[in-house]
Structure 1
Amino acid sequence: MNATALVFAVLALLLAGPVPALLSRATWTYRSPRAGLVLWQAIALAAVLSAFGSGLAIASQLLVPGPDGRPTTAPTKEIDALGLPLWSLYVLVFLLTLLVGARLIYSVLRVAVRTRRRRARHRMLVDLLDRSTTRPLAMRASNIRVLEAAEPIAYCLPGIRQRVVVSEGTLSTLGEPEIAAILSHERCHLRARHDLVLEAFTAVHDAFPRVVRSASALDAVQLLIELLADDSAVKAAGPGPLARALVACSSSSAPQGALSAGGPTTLIRVQRLAGRRGDVRIATAAYVAAAAILVVPTIAVAVPWLVELSRLINA
């Protein structure tokens, strides 16, 4: 059991820090963003499960067998069997595991509530300032809002009441193909619910202690999500119009909780459009690695632990 806890602890530390730092420097994910995103999700989930697995494996030492072979349930008997120092250590680890779980749940709820409040306030604002009724019929879709701003701006507000927000500057600067590309980009975000992926990674990022978490993981996932939306826009309008639209909106900003077409990653995304073909072999390897990260530790470590735990309970 102690070996199980050690393996889980090492896995959690590796998957929370060094592995994300290494993967964030990989460039193959630019060509296969979907496979890269799946691998990132597997790493994050495996890190969380490994952290819980380590704590629970240590805490399970409290289930020491009594004289009849069944696990003891009285704390005094467990203290007699383990000794007070070791018993105290196991109890402390169990409490820390519960604390980590509570921190993760709190982080998920805090990120979700905070993000939705911000979106609701901004959605109300863009609805009040909307000028789409003065634009051509094509811009009067139910979820499109046009703001009176000279700067080219394009972003979306996900959720049940979705909005795609563009500025007057966007519509006056870009031609029809570029506008179609940028709208397709934002609608891909809404359709695929990329905001939920970002929320999950933000919650995990906030929940892990700073000394072990990777600061680059969230940035890498944000870039991959933009690349996926770019791929959708290329299918709808072609790489040229999308590239021109991204350059025009590169300096635009969006409120927190929104997904913007522009931003600091514009140069990487535009350069990628010239040669974005992915390698099927690399993508397949990434999917296999993602499955292995989740399945192999479970089979090699968790199953023997669960078998032993079942033996103690059923003894």
Structure 2
Amino acid sequence: MLWQALMVSFIVSVALAWCHANTASQHLHGLLGTAERWISGPHIADPSTEDESARGAEGIELLVPIGLTTLWPASWFVTVSLSARRRRRRHARLLDLAGRPVPELGVMVLDHDTPAAYCLPGRPGRVVVTSAALRSLTPAQLQAVLAHERAHLTGRHHLVSATGEAFARAFRVLPLARTAREHMADLLEMVCDDHALRSASARTLAEAMCEVAAGGSPQSTFAAGGTAVLARLRRLLRPSAPLSRAARWAIVLLGAGAAALPYFITCGPVLG
């Protein structure tokens, strides 16, 4: 949540900087009010007056940079999502040809000598394991792996991943973009580890991760081995103290307020 809040905060900052460059004569604290007047202007304002015409022109000057700044990463999100969907559909067709369903486990099995497990988002989402994984994993380890993969599907993590990828492509030279994409991928795996721990022990999940870590996964899928395996193993086997309720609420409030923070900082001198 915090990484996504930082991305939104950056986009808001760019939009405000563009607005400031286009309307340097006025302070940005009038941004929201002017935009609101421009949106509601056609049935409230009198277009015959120069004052209202100036307000409409100012509203356009303010909303155009905001729209363009938002449209750029949004267009990349659509591009990334559509490309990933095409890859997943192509992979699903291959699974239908090469795999065999196992209804009692709710998985698709591929005959392969390397232990591996991954999920394929979509409608319907699929969990895929290799025949080697079925042979090498104990029943408890297999259930832990399946719980991890199903958490990716139920959490719709492919959409979260697409936001990080789209932001990284939209702002390639920005260190925040590259770092956010990498860390969000690792954190998504940790989120699914926590879901798996509801029905399995940390040792069981760690052992299962080690078994399938070398298997890898196709593009646009999530693997149980996943990224940052060593960091995840340390987190499982040497867990730190959980955050207090106050700390959790502070993080939530920080994330929720990050997008609005640039606006209030910009308006600080007027508000003061």
Does the pair score TM above 0.5? yes
Partner in structure 2 of residue 42 of structure 1: 5
User: Judging changes above 3 Å, is the alpha-carbon distance between structure 1 residues 166 and 118 closer, same or farther for their aligned structure 2 residues?
Assistant: same
* Counterparts of residues 169-208 of structure 1 (less than 5 Å): 169-208=132-171
Deviation at 1:153, TM superposition (A): 0.7
Contact 2:114 2:132 in 1 (8 A): yes
The answer on 1:132 being equivalent to 2:97 is no
The answer on 1:286 being equivalent to 2:251 is yes
| Secondary structure of the structure 1 residue equivalent to 2:104 | helix
Partner in structure 2 of residue 145 of structure 1: 108
Contact 1:251 1:263 in 2 (8 A): no
Q: Give, as a single letter, the amino acid of the residue that structure 2 aligns with 1:290.
A: G
Q: Distance in 2 between matches of 1:74 and 1:283?
A: 43
* Counterparts of residues 116-127 of structure 1 (less than 5 Å): 116-127=85-96
C-alpha deviations, 1:275-304, integer Å up to 9, x for none? Answer: 334222543332232233234334454699
Q: Distance in 2 between matches of 1:124 and 1:61?
A: 56
Partner in structure 1 of residue 15 of structure 2: 52
Deviation at 1:97, TM superposition (A): 6.5
User: Judging changes above 3 Å, is the alpha-carbon distance between structure 1 residues 68 and 122 closer, same or farther for their aligned structure 2 residues?
Assistant: closer
Between 150-159 and 262-271, report the one with greater CA deviation.
262-271
Q: Distance in 2 between matches of 1:304 and 1:114?
A: 45
C-alpha deviations, 1:232-284, integer Å up to 9, x for none? Answer: 00111221211111000111111111011113411111111123342225433
Q: Distance in 2 between matches of 1:211 and 1:39?
A: 17
Q: 2:213 aligns with which of 223, 240, 250?
A: 250
Q: Give, as a single letter, the amino acid of the residue that structure 1 aligns with 2:72.
A: R
Structure 2 unmatched ranges of 5 or more: 27-48
Q: 1:267 aligns with which of 230, 235, 242?
A: 230
Q: Distance in 2 between matches of 1:172 and 1:97?
A: 55
* Counterparts of residues 75-114 of structure 1 (less than 5 Å): 100-114=69-83
Percent of aligned pairs with the same amino acid: 29
Q: Give, as a single letter, the amino acid of the residue that structure 2 aligns with 1:51.
A: V
Deviation at 1:128, TM superposition (A): 1.5
User: Judging changes above 3 Å, is the alpha-carbon distance between structure 1 residues 304 and 128 closer, same or farther for their aligned structure 2 residues?
Assistant: farther
Q: Distance in 1 between matches of 2:162 and 2:117?
A: 21
| Secondary structure of the structure 1 residue equivalent to 2:113 | coil
Partner in structure 1 of residue 181 of structure 2: 218
Structure 1 unmatched ranges of 5 or more: 1-37, 79-90, 308-315
Q: Give, as a single letter, the amino acid of the residue that structure 1 aligns with 2:216.
A: S
What CA RMSD, in Å, does the superposition of the two structures yield over aligned residues? 3.1
User: Judging changes above 3 Å, is the alpha-carbon distance between structure 1 residues 102 and 298 closer, same or farther for their aligned structure 2 residues?
Assistant: closer
Q: Distance in 2 between matches of 1:73 and 1:293?
A: 29
Kindly tell me the number of residue pairs found equivalent between the two proteins.
245
| Secondary structure of the structure 2 residue equivalent to 1:215 | helix
Q: Give, as a single letter, the amino acid of the residue that structure 1 aligns with 2:190.
A: L
User: Judging changes above 3 Å, is the alpha-carbon distance between structure 1 residues 304 and 122 closer, same or farther for their aligned structure 2 residues?
Assistant: farther
| Secondary structure of the structure 2 residue equivalent to 1:278 | coil
